Amino acid sequence: MSTDDHDGSADAHGHEHHEVEGPGYPTPAAMRTESEREKTAFVMALRVGMDVDGPDFVGVVDVDPESDTYAELIDTVEMPNKGDELHHFGWNTCSSSCHTEGLTRDHLIVPGQRSSRIHIVDAADPRNPEIEHVIEPEEVFAHDLSAPHTVHCVPEGKIVVSMLGDADGELPGGFLQLDQEDFSIDGHWEADRGAMEMNYDYWYQPRHGVMISSEWAAPETYYPGFDLEDVEAGKYGDSIHIWDWETKEHRETLTFGEEGLIPLEVRMPHNPEETEGYVGAALSSNVLRFWEDADGHWDWETVIEIDDREHPDWDMPVPGLVTDLLLSLDDQYLFFSNWLHGDVRMYDVSDTGNPRLVDQVWAGGNFGDRQTVGGHDIRGAPQMLQLSRDGRRLYWTTSLFSSWDNQFYPEMGEEGSLMLKADVYPDEGRLELDEEFVVDFGDAPGGPARAHEIRWPGGDCTSDVWQ
């Protein structure tokens, strides 16, 4: 069901949205149609594994075509320490609390994947963010957790961060809960983790009391880089986990096996009435659909398969490596990246069980003809994606993870990565690379950096959840 079919003004669940007092938007359709065009972007930028001896930073990129500094890095907020590996980040609050008076979306929660340090950045002025507070690793390790990944603001004044390892970088992982007011650590979110050992990304649908989490591996496994022997030894994930959102207990595991090796990003529809979603399995290069059956149990199927390709410089077929995916705010289009092949794909998922490929853009990678844009060499390939709220501009960066970058695209370790953009024509189901928009993080102040996740001030389709 499209989010545009659900106005959210009131429903059987008692969610009243006639007068919004809190942050965000009352419905996904409201965010899509009533918000202003993005003018600045927050972009994670790291220097771990680079030739540059400097700290990571949060970059501010000008994406306003009317601005004199369009497509430029206009500010950087450097971290106080080196070696964090900034990766994913999120907001202190979002549209899940749009009915809650007194909350404001004004702080970014910025974890370090390698350091387990969590930075609180005051982003009330999107062109001049500042670090306000730092949660030191020892405070995180005290809860026997490490390697923070996905940050979601959740109702009831909390922030939940997926953690991929224990204090020693081994398994199991878990979830860390922070308070929205003072950013203190509450402890573990989960009351019973059941069969869950590996962790990675998660999404939740509070209206149905469910959360879905995915798997990567223990930090000690993926930190050094990718080793196929680790896959053969069962050190990488192949499952997703179903959680009871209310009791915080693990309920069920869906195991994909060979069809779903390394399931990473989880995306559920923005329509809060839906109980299904997609996960991209990186190594298997498949997109899997999962859903709740009438009896309350969950099932899955493979709906998109990317064929491996032969390459003269590889001694094995090259997988696409589906590393990021997202759903447009109207839930009509699914976009995902094939980081090793070098393309971004756009699928119509109006029929959720039968995605239809409508277009793709090639930029960099091991197979794309287009290896330069705007006079810049494309180092890497499409990786982290972010879609404009109106669904008409798709942005991406080209770095995956420092050690994996250095292994597969070593030039990034020397020269940094890029941020690129395609114009989207949803009425036509079409993508077109914008060759005028290039942000080269190789030219960052203080030396080259790797650009990773992107966030819009005011929220986006991968940060906000509705209830």
pLDDT of residue 321: 98
The amino acid sitting at 1 is M
Separation CA 189–CA 237 (nearest Å)? 21
Separation CA 126–CA 109 (nearest Å)? 14
Q: What sign does the dihedral 118-120-123-127 (CA atoms) show?
A: negative
Query: 377: which strand partners?
Result: 372
Where do the domains of the chain lie, and which CATH numbers do they carry? 3-455 (2.130.10.10)
> How is the beta sheet containing 90-91 ordered, strand by strand?
90-91, 107-111, 118-122, 130-135
Give average pLDDT by consecutive 10-residue segment, the chain, 467 residues: 50 46 90 97 97 95 98 98 98 91 92 98 97 98 98 93 98 97 97 98 96 98 98 98 98 98 98 97 98 97 98 96 98 98 98 98 96 97 98 98 98 97 98 98 97 97 96
Residue 164 near residue 149, CB atoms below 8 Å: yes
Q: What is the distance, to the nearest Å, from the Cα of residue 112 to the centroid of all Cα atoms in its chain?
A: 15
Separation CA 163–CA 39 (nearest Å)? 32
Residue 402 near residue 48, CB atoms below 8 Å: yes
Residue 230 near residue 217, CB atoms below 8 Å: yes
pLDDT of residue 98: 87
Q: Identify each DSSP E strand in 9-94 by its residue range.
A: 40-46, 57-62, 73-78, 90-91
Nearest-5° Cα angle at 283, 279 to 286: 45
Separation CA 463–CA 60 (nearest Å)? 17
CA atoms within 13 A on the CB side of 297: 5
* Collapsed DSSP state (helix, strand, coil) of residue 31: helix
Separation CA 210–CA 203 (nearest Å)? 9
The amino acid sitting at 439 is V
pLDDT of residue 28: 97
DSSP per-residue string spanning 365-408 = TTT-S--EETTEE--S---SEEE-TTS-EEEEE----HHHHHHH
Q: Could you tell me the CA-to-CA distances from 465 to 197, 238, 303, 388, 455 in Å, in that order?
A: 25, 25, 24, 16, 15
If you ran DSSP here, which 8-state letter would residue 217 be given? B
Nearest-5° Cα angle at 441, 32 to 416: 125
If you ran DSSP here, which 8-state letter would residue 38 be given? P
Separation CA 152–CA 177 (nearest Å)? 10
pLDDT of residue 2: 57
Q: Could you tell me the CA-to-CA distances from 175 to 121, 148, 249, 352 in Å, in that order?
A: 21, 9, 12, 29
pLDDT digits over 136-187, tens only? Answer: 999 999 999 999 999 999 988 899 999 999 999 999 999 999 999 999 999 9
pLDDT of residue 15: 46
Query: 109: which strand partners?
Result: 90, 120
Residue 186 near residue 197, CB atoms below 8 Å: no
pLDDT of residue 275: 96
Separation CA 334–CA 289 (nearest Å)? 12
Residue 69 near residue 95, CB atoms below 8 Å: no
Separation CA 112–CA 120 (nearest Å)? 11
- Token pair recorded at residue 235: 């050190």
- Give the CA dihedral 205, 291, 344, 28, nearest 10 degrees: -30
169 burial (CB, 10 Å; 0-12 / 13-18 / 19+) is middle
pLDDT digits over 372-410, tens only? Answer: 999 999 999 999 999 999 999 999 999 999 999 999 999
The H-or-E segment that residue 165 falls in is strand 158-165
pLDDT of residue 218: 98
For the chain, what's the residue count? Answer: 467
